Amino acid sequence: MESDEVNKDLFRDLVSAFYFIKNDVMDIEILARAFELRILKATGYELNFSQCVKCRKKISMSNNIDSILYGPICKECEKLNSIYISNPTYNTLKFLNNFGMDKINRIIVSQSSKLELYKILSFIISQNYTRKPKSLEMFNYLREYNDQ
């Protein structure tokens, strides 16, 4: 069954996440963002960074995420009601979305990109789910704990 596969994938990602936390080998904030992307994917809201969300043209970079269709917009399409995203943040988001949890622990992300990622994913999550899943807040508590 397809949903079994999704559950298996999520479970495997969760195990990786706990491994990273336990061994302190990864930035918890980035781990949280990667997990948010996994949850979006598992619940049918997978983001696609290879094409424009409006005209479907292939793209490799975008500075606008559509706030209704939740995807990147190309240079030619209308950008009204979009969220700004910088080039490094776009690349990070694409990387976190496209690669497995086992590949992402070495990624280095600037403080400003972390904030951008947080804003964009929080927006998409809060729009897609009536209530932000509590499990996602867990990572914020972990981060606060680690920062002490």
Alpha carbon distance 86, 139 (integer Å): 24
- In the complex with Zn ion, which residue's Cβ is closer, 59 or 117? 59
Interacting residues with Zn ion (CB under 5 A): 52, 54-55, 74, 77
Cβ at position 57, least distance to Zn ion in Å: 5
- In the complex with Zn ion, which residue's Cβ is closer, 25 or 55? 55
- In the complex with Zn ion, which residue's Cβ is closer, 69 or 115? 69
Cβ at position 75, least distance to Zn ion in Å: 8
Are the C-beta atoms of 76 and 53 separated by less than 8 Å? no
